[in-house]
Chain A
């Protein structure tokens, strides 16, 4: 089944009629065999969602593979390329589902158990040390206010505070995962350059946070 060369896969999937059907059936079996290994960290095979998810992802993968056949560049085995497409589809769905479920749990938790207040000062540290740490935190907050754009701040809140998966955060910002990564890269770069310009290093800043 998996003894085809990359060229054979491409030829057969591009052929009309039964040749293509046989190749598709074989590819279906390969994806279905591989996916459970990828999903096992996320979902128990005993979970009632497991088997329908594998089938649904397999179907979607085959459609996408046929649609994107011309983009396969032969830099890996064809089946590895197919597996990566299946994983992208499966994990996007699982992340979305996990986030939706955890959002509901948090809603209930928040109502029943309000979050504890954060300790603002380390009782073991001297008043001078606590004052220095508070100054550093205030300085970093000021830098962030000056350096981050509203969009960058929004992305940080969605990902870091509301724990949205990248795809969901991107969707809510009417962009895509790739552009969101670039936006955050720009934010990190700006911040890194600014800290360097102010002669601050990350370790120094982190020690202020660790001493809260």
Chain B
């Protein structure tokens, strides 16, 4: 049967594949971008101090694996902290 004008556009294979791939990191409880933003400064400082952030803040770590934008912002913050105050 052909697609009618009212049908939603078909999702391309690559997009579906990425969606399925993301299920591996999908959990019932996840932080939102706002929740991550609220603590990402604390999280970055903990990382710089050598703390085990994955154990201390597992939901934040989980979110970073799924959210490219938050991960980029976190890495940019690490860059500033590491390079502004080299030990």
Chain A residues within CB distance 8 Å of chain B: 33-35, 37-41, 75-77, 80-81, 83-84, 87-88, 90-91, 95, 118, 137, 140-141, 144, 150, 153, 156-157, 160-161, 165-167, 177-178, 181-182, 185, 187-189, 191-192, 195, 202, 205-206, 209, 212
Complex contact A34–B80 (CB within 8 A): yes
Bound CA–CA A84/B34 (angstroms) = 12
Complex contact B80–A38 (CB within 8 A): yes
Number of A-B contacts (CB under 8 A): 126
- B43-87 interface mask toward A, CB cutoff 8 Å, 1 = contact, 0 = none? 011000000000000000000000101001101110111111000
Complex contact A166–B15 (CB within 8 A): no
Near A by CB (< 8 A), chain B positions 1-46 give 8-24, 26, 28, 30, 32-34, 37, 39-42, 44-45
Q: Contacts A75-B39, A182-B32, A191-B23 given; indicate if A38 touches B44 (C-beta within 8 A).
A: no
Chain B residues within CB distance 8 Å of chain A: 8-24, 26, 28, 30, 32-34, 37, 39-42, 44-45, 67, 69, 72-73, 75-77, 79-84
Chief secondary structure at chain A's binding surface: helix
Q: Would you list the 4 A-B pairs with minimal beta carbon distance, nearest first?
A: A76-B41, A38-B76, A34-B80, A160-B15
